[in-house]
A = this chain, B = another copy of it.
Amino acid sequence: MSQATVSRVLSGTVQVSEHTREAVMRALEITGYVPNASARTMRSGRTGSIGVVVTHMTNPFYPHLLEALSNAIHHVGHRMIVWDGRRDGETDAVSAIREKAVDSVIFTTATPDSGPLHEALRQQLPVVLVNRSLPRLPCDSVTSDNVAGASSVARYLVEGGRRRIAMIGGLRGSSTADERLRGFRSGLKRAGQATKELALVSGDWAYDEGVRCARELLASSARPPDALFCANDVLAFGAIDAARAAGCRVPDDLWVVGYDDISISSWGAYDLTTMRQPLREMADEAIELALRRLDDPERPPVRRRLTSELVVRGSTARHAAPGG
């Protein structure tokens, strides 16, 4: 009995024995069938759901990314199933592809040591990375160009006359942290600043880590930094609060630059100069890649890198963002 025949059984346009019809209907019913829900699945073999694994929902960056993904997923008429990566979410999400509860899964906080991600790729299950990329894995990914973005921040600080530049990096081993550090180093070098002098501490993307790292930088240096690049906005908020608590004026004594441009960055208390990631475009591209991967599982992996833009605000003395 073909799929088309089952469709005709359901629509009543074909004659089958009452026993067969009842068996079909009963089987459909106990799998949760009602006509509307399964019509699309019957036509396309798809669930109409896309999974998202997100790790720190209350870190203010992720709700922005999650909202952008929600918009993109609902825009293509799909449902969004969300897992928390801290609680076996990666494992559950990959299982959900196998169990046909979702068509594919978007990973927002992938790292090279993610077992479930490796397993998914080994089994050629459809997954897409967004915000993170893993160059050694054969996997679709969408990020902003973190190397170029951080390099542009370095140029902006040097052109602004900053000479004792420090950085608070993100969690080491994540592509976002590693690429922003690499880009910042190369940007400083290109602008004629000796990068070996770069004071660097690393935190876990969180406010408290920004406070801790900034305290360390301000206390340990005989000559305290006159500029601080933070690998994300939330670290920068912590750094600004720590600097102020230490009697250091922002931007008079210390320029602070973040990365992301989440909504809090424009709030009066922080007024943060930051590199804006194009989250909406990143989310749209990720969902487009997810759908294309379903249509053509054999296509070569695509890595998209979108351009970021420096937004200059009051945490640095105002002057134009660099042209390049």
Contacts and interface: CB of A to CB of B under 8 A. Distances in A.
Interface of A: 1-3, 6, 16, 19-20, 22-24, 26-28, 30-34, 36-38, 41-42, 45, 47, 49, 57-58, 60, 62-64, 66-67, 70-71, 74, 79-84, 87, 89, 92, 95-96, 98-101, 207, 211, 237-238, 240-242, 244-245, 262-264, 267-270
B63 A87 contact: no
B269 A240 contact: yes
A180 B64 CA distance: 28
A244 B264 contact: no
A268 B31 contact: no
B63 A60 contact: yes
A98 B244 CA distance: 55
Instruction: Indicate how many identical chains form the complex.
Output: 2
A68 to B, nearest CB: 9
Nearest to A103: B32
Contacts of A49: 81, 101
20 contacts: A1-B22, A2-B26, A3-B26, A6-B26, A16-B23, A30-B41, A30-B42, A31-B42, A34-B99, A58-B63, A58-B67, A60-B60, A60-B63, A70-B82, A80-B81, A207-B267, A211-B268, A238-B268, A242-B268, A264-B264
Contact of A80 (B63, B82, B99): B82
A23 B14 CA distance: 14
A38 B34 contact: no
A74 B83 contact: yes
Given A57-B67, A71-B87, A84-B70, A36 B237 contact: no
